[in-house]
C-alpha cells in the first residue's frame, strides 16, 4: 500500500461526501449463506485419495508408477469422466479424451516433450498441437503435495485439462487476452473440484472445511509473481483473481467459465486494473493514522468514529483479540503494535503469521467494520458477522484501489499496491484470520466463504455487505 499525492488527496476529499453506502446493485450481486460453502454445509472428514478406490489404468508415457504418477493418472481419469458427462450437457458436444499423457522428471535427464526440454522445467502443461498433457513428477508436483497435500495434483491437472477443453470445444474467441485462457482454466478446475466435493469422483474425496481450504491455498501458491505482466503469454493471474475464477466454476459450473472473455475480464480482474506500483508501508503509528483517516472518510458514522488506542483496557462485552480488538461497549479499537508489525512484515518461510503490510491494515479495517456494524445495529458475534466483516473490508479495499470497480470513486489518501489483495487472501485462508472474524475473533468456518465474502464487497460495494449476509 502507498500514500498518494496531495493533489489526488484533494480530489478524493471532494468526492467523499457522496460515496459511502446505498450503491446500486450489479449483475454480480449474490448472497452467501453463512456456515455453508456454495449452499453445502461446511464438512470435515477425509480429503485426498478416496479410501479403497482402485488406481486408474490409463496409458502414461515415461511413468515411474510412483505416488505422484498415480495421483496424476487418477486425476485425469476423474476429470475425463466429469467432462464426458458435462460437455454434452453444457456445450451440446461430446469431448474426446486427450490423446496422450506424459510424465517427466525435471531433475532427471533431458527429454523433448512437445518440443520443450524437460530438464529444469518445473511445470505441467497442455500441448494443443499434440493434444497432450504432461507433468513434472520430479519437482513441481511433489513440492506442491508436500506444501498443500495430495489434492494439489487434481487442482493443477484439472486446470491443464481445462486448456484441453477450451481448445477442443473452441471456447475462446480469437483476440482474447492470454489471461482469458488462464482464468477459464482456473474456473474449469473449480467446477471439477465441486464434483469432488459432491462425492461424484471415483478416486478423490474432499471436505469443504480444511480440505477445500488446502485446495485454495494450493491455488494461491500458483499465483503470478507480484508485478507480473498480466498481458504476458505466461500470465496466470494474481491469487485474488485466480481464486475468484476458481470460485465461479465451483459455484456456477462450466457455463459460467465459458462467459469469461476480454470484456468480462476487464470489468473484474484486478491484475489488469491500473494498480500503481508502490512499496509496502511500514506499520507505524503514522501509517495507521493515515489508514484510519481513510476509514473515517469511507464510513462517516455520524461523526462518531471508534476511538483507537494502543493501551490495553478491559472490555465488558467482547473477548480481546490480537493484534487489533474492537470493544462495542466503549466503541474503542485497541491495537497491539508489535503483533500488528509482525502481521504486516513481508511473508517469509518459517514466519507463517507474516502476510505483508496490507494484511495489517485490513485487520485494523476489520475491527473498524465492527464499529460500522454496531452503529447499524447488526449482531457482532456470529458467523454472519464474520462474513459481513470480510465483505466490508473488501468494499473498503476497492475504495482504496486507484480505479475502484464500477463507477465508484477512490476514497482516502492511500492506494493499493500490486500484491495487496493477495496479502488479504493469504490472511483469510489462514486459521487465525481476523479480517473474516467476529468481535470475539472467531473466523467464519470456511476459507472459501471468507474469500467469497471479501470479493462480493470488493466487486459489488458496501450495500451488498448489508443485504448479502442477512442470517
Q: Which residues bind Zn ion (CB under 5 A)?
A: 182, 185
CB of 397 to Zn ion, least distance (A): 27
CB of 230 closer than 8 Å to CB of 242: no
Question: What SS3 state is found at 227?
Answer: coil
Whichever of 54 and 234 has its CB closer to Zn ion, that residue is 234
What count of residues does the chain have?
A: 471
Whichever of 12 and 185 has its CB closer to Zn ion, that residue is 185
Cα(169)–Cα(205) distance, rounded to whole angstroms? 28
CB of 162 to Zn ion, least distance (A): 8
CB of 181 to Zn ion, least distance (A): 7
Joined together, the cell numbers standing for residue 147 give 506444501
Whichever of 141 and 185 has its CB closer to Zn ion, that residue is 185
String of DSSP letters for 126-187: EEGGGTEEEEETTTHHHHHHHHH-TTHHHHHHHHHHHHHHHHHTT-S-TT--HHHHHHHHHH
Q: Name the one residue in this structure whose C-alpha cell is 458514522.
A: 301
Helix (H) or strand (E) holding 325: strand 324-327
Cα(383)–Cα(37) distance, rounded to whole angstroms? 13
CB of 421 to Zn ion, least distance (A): 20
CB of 271 to Zn ion, least distance (A): 14
Whichever of 188 and 448 has its CB closer to Zn ion, that residue is 188
Whichever of 188 and 368 has its CB closer to Zn ion, that residue is 188
Closest CA to 105 of 85, 126, 121: 121
Contacts of 377 (CB under 8 A, 6+ apart): none
Question: What SS3 state is found at 33?
Answer: coil
Cα(86)–Cα(405) distance, rounded to whole angstroms? 33
Whichever of 159 and 408 has its CB closer to Zn ion, that residue is 159
- In a 13 Å sphere around the CA of 243, the CA atoms on its Cβ side amount to 32
Cα(152)–Cα(273) distance, rounded to whole angstroms? 29
Whichever of 82 and 161 has its CB closer to Zn ion, that residue is 161
Whichever of 182 and 241 has its CB closer to Zn ion, that residue is 182
Q: Is the dihedral of CA 66, 68, 74, 77 positive or negative?
A: negative
String of DSSP letters for 425-451: HHHHHSTT-STTB-TTS-B-S-HHHHH
Whichever of 182 and 383 has its CB closer to Zn ion, that residue is 182
CB of 126 to Zn ion, least distance (A): 8
CB of 236 to Zn ion, least distance (A): 6
Whichever of 162 and 306 has its CB closer to Zn ion, that residue is 162
CB of 169 to Zn ion, least distance (A): 16
CB of 135 to Zn ion, least distance (A): 13
Contacts of 162 (CB under 8 A, 6+ apart): 184, 185, 186, 187, 188, 189, 257
CB of 403 to Zn ion, least distance (A): 26
Amino acid at each position: 500500500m502507498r500514500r498518494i499525492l496531495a493533489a489526488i488527496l484533494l480530489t478524493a476529499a471532494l468526492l467523499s461526501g457522496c460515496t459511502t453506502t446505498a450503491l446500486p446493485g450489479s449483475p454480480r450481486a449474490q448472497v452467501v449463506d453463512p456456515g455453508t460453502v456454495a449452499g453445502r454445509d461446511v464438512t470435515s472428514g477425509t480429503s485426498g485419495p478416496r479410501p479403497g478406490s482402485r488406481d486408474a489404468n490409463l496409458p502414461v508415457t515415461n511413468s515411474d508408477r510412483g505416488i505422484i504418477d498415480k495421483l496424476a493418472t487418477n486425476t485425469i481419469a476423474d476429470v475425463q469422466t466429469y467432462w464426458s458427462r458435462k460437455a454434452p450437457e453444457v456445450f451440446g458436444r461430446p469431448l474426446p479424451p486427450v490423446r496422450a499423457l506424459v510424465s517427466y522428471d525435471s531433475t532427471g535427464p533431458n527429454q523433448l516433450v512437445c518440443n520443450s526440454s524437460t530438464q529444469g522445467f518445473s511445470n505441467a502443461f497442455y500441448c494443443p498441437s499434440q493434444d497432450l498433457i504432461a507433468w513434472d513428477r520430479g519437482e513441481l508436483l511433489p513440492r506442491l503435495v508436500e506444501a498443500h497435500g495430495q489434492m494439489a495434483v487434481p487442482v493443477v491437472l484439472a486446470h491443464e485439462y481445462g486448456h484441453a477443453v477450451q481448445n477442443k470445444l473452441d471456447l475462446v474467441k480469437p483476440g482474447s487476452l492470454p489471461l482469458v485462457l488462464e482464468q477459464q482454466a482456473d474456473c474449469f478446475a473449480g467446477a471439477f473440484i465441486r464434483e469432488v466435493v459432491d462425492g461424484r469422483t471415483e478416486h478423490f474425496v474432499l471436505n469443504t472445511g480444511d480440505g477445500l481450504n488446502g485446495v485454495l491455498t494450493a491455488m494461491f501458491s500458483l499465483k503470478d509473481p507480484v508485478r507480473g505482466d498480466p498481458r504476458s503469454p505466461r500470465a496466470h493471474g494474481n491469487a485474488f483473481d485466480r481464486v475468484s475464477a476458481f470460485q465461479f466454476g465451483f459455484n456456477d459450473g462450466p457455463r459460467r467459465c465459458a462467459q469469461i472473455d476480454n470484456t468480462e475480464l476487464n470489468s473484474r480482474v484486478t491484475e489488469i486494473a491500473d494498480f500503481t506500483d508502490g512499496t509496502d508501508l511500514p506499520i507505524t503509528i503514522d501509517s495507521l493514522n493515515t489508514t484510519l483517516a481513510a476509514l473515517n472518510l469511507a464510513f462517516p458514522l455520524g461523526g462518531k468514529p471508534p476511538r483507537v488506542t494502543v493501551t490495553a483496557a478491559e472490555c465488558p462485552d467482547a473477548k480481546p483479540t490480537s493484534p487489533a480488538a474492537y470493544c462495542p461497549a466503549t466503541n474503542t479499537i485497541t491495537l497491539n503494535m508489535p503483533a500488528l508489525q509482525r502481521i504486516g512484515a513481508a511473508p517469509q518461510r518459517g514466519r507463517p503469521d507474516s502476510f505483508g503490510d496490507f494484511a495489517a491494515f485490513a485487520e485494523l479495517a476489520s475491527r473498524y467494520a465492527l464499529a460500522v456494524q454496531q452503529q447499524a445495529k447488526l449482531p457482532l458475534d456470529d458467523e454472519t458477522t464474520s462474513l459481513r466483516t470480510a465483505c466490508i473490508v473488501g468494499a473498503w479495499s476497492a475504495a482504496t484501489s486507484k480505479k475502484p470497480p464500477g463507477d465508484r470513486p477512490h476514497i482516502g489518501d492511500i492506494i493499493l499496491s500490486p500484491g495487496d489483495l493477495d496479502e488479504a487472501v493469504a490472511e483469510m485462508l489462514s486459521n487465525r484470520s481476523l479480517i473474516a472474524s467476529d468481535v470475539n475473533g472467531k473466523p467464519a468456518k470456511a476459507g472459501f466463504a471468507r474469500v467469497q465474502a471479501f470479493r462480493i464487497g470488493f466487486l459489488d460495494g458496501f450495500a451488498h455487505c448489508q443485504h448479502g449476509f442477512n442470517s
